[in-house]
Amino acid sequence: MDHDDGANEDALYDSNQTQNVFLESDSSDPLISGKQRRDTEVFIGSISLEASEKDVHAALRKCGAEAGATGFELMMDRTTNKHRGYAFAKYDSSESANAAIKAITEAECEVKKQKIRASMKPNKYRVFVGGLRKDATREEVIEALRPRGAGLEYFELSKPKRSRNAPEDASNDHNGGCGWAIYYNEACAERFMKNMQENKEEKLSVAQETKPMTVSWAPPKPKHEVRSLHVSKLNEANATEEALREVFGRFGTIEDVVVRTDREPFMAWVVFAKTTDVESALAECDPVEDAPEGKKLGTFVSSVDGSTLTVAPSTKIPKKKAADAPNAGKGGPAPRGRDDWSKYRNNAGTGAGRYGGGLAPRGSWSGRPAQTNAMPVILPTGQVAYAMMGGGGRGNRRGGGRRDNRHRPY
């Protein structure tokens, strides 16, 4: 969830896993005390079959990937008594593990002239929980799940699904009826799933009345690369692409700038070519003291007019709206009953395109005689189509045919 969605959104749904709910009392649990956390083990693959464990250690040491390491296991084949070409390295923290992955990747580390690859070990720790009451809050769900096993670190509650045309207060639902539980490690997640399945007859307070709760493995949430800055509190002098490129251009290559001035305060997204460019810009920001928990907000002084901007990293890269898109949308009637598609055809300047004209008939056929079966329509592409109407034939229910109001271009 992006920071501009509001602090209350993060607290209610926690889509970005910013609200850690791990209890200190869980640290003494047998599956947690002295055990590896889910994101402290690194998978190392593409190891040459001719290499020994000593060769791998030497390569990791050379590229700086052994800092913070607490264990290493080269996976062996019991049949051939040779290794399988991959290993698992354990680290003292998630920061050390991520640093090792970065070091191996950037240094293009090689063992016996063969490049190795590294990534986080694909543990199972994220569990989908379905069948929740739609008026249950995130805090209620967390308290209901704790007795089923220690080690819960985060819980993502799904947002309610509403129709586009429905007003915001059309429903009292607080969620979409499901969520995702993230546990300390795979062993804790397996215990939780086993307890839920063995005690499924025992209804939890957050379960729906007519639908049982369900649990299943969910894939890890993909981590999006942070290459954009969200800039808010813009004034008219800074709310242009040229001004923002001038302000942030010295930090690196800017690929795109998207400015939104349809509501106040104005905001924008500055998209860089590299994540390091975003980090350089944030390094010059002064932190916001009253920023919501888990959000990295900073203040930045504009070089255009000296005003103070609010800046934050963002994974969101919005698309620019097409400036020449027709106002009528998807074929809907425009004012005066006709949509002007002439500029999308040949000879648009003459008013008589390749297909005989630049104006398409109105999309509403109220007032047409009922006995007419079809009406010719000029589509935006210039093709001729028929809009099937009532009055008999295959589009008339009374005539025994099926209702078929599709356009039929020829």
The Cα–Cα gap between 371 and 349 comes to 38
The Cα–Cα gap between 156 and 173 comes to 16
User: Which helix (H) or strand (E) segment is 266 a member of?
Assistant: strand 266-272
The Cα–Cα gap between 112 and 114 comes to 5
The Cα–Cα gap between 218 and 129 comes to 9
**Topology at the third CATH level for domain 41-120:** Alpha-Beta Plaits (3.30.70)
The Cα–Cα gap between 226 and 168 comes to 30
Predicted pLDDT of residue 408? 53
Provide the residue type at 232 as one letter. Answer: S
CATH superfamily of 228-314: RRM (RNA recognition motif) domain (3.30.70.330)
**Model confidence pTM above 0.95:** no
User: Is residue 377 helix, strand or coil?
Assistant: strand
Low pLDDT (below 70) residues in the chain: 1-10, 162-173, 223-224, 290-295, 320-374, 382, 388-410
Predicted pLDDT of residue 6? 41
Q: Residue ranges of the domains in the chain? A: 3-31+124-160+172-217, 41-120, 228-314, 335-395
By the 10 Å C-beta count (0-12 exposed, 13-18 middle, 19+ buried), 41 is classed as buried
**Topology at the third CATH level for domain 3-31+124-160+172-217:** Alpha-Beta Plaits (3.30.70)
Predicted pLDDT of residue 324? 45
Predicted pLDDT of residue 116? 95
Calculate the dihedral angle through the C-alpha atoms of 97, 315, 300, 235, rounding to the nearest 10 degrees: 180
Question: What's the Rg (C-alpha) of the chain?
Answer: 30
**Unique residue bearing structure tokens 């349809």:** 262
Say whether 228-314 and 3-31+124-160+172-217 share the same fold: yes
**Unique residue bearing structure tokens 């700086």:** 64
Question: What token pair was written down for 206?
Answer: 């957050």
User: Which helix (H) or strand (E) segment is 192 a member of?
Assistant: helix 186-198
Calculate the dihedral angle through the C-alpha atoms of 293, 127, 171, 201, rounding to the nearest 10 degrees: -130
Question: What token pair was written down for 176?
Answer: 């979409």
pLDDT in tens, 197-229: 999 889 999 999 988 899 999 988 776 678 889
User: Which helix (H) or strand (E) segment is 281 a member of?
Assistant: helix 275-283
Closest CA to 311 of 3, 46, 47, 99: 3
Alpha helices, DSSP H, located in 132-198? 138-145, 186-198
CB 341 within 8 Å of CB 326: yes
**Unique residue bearing structure tokens 């648009």:** 348
pLDDT in tens, 52-89: 999 999 999 999 999 999 999 999 998 898 999 999 99
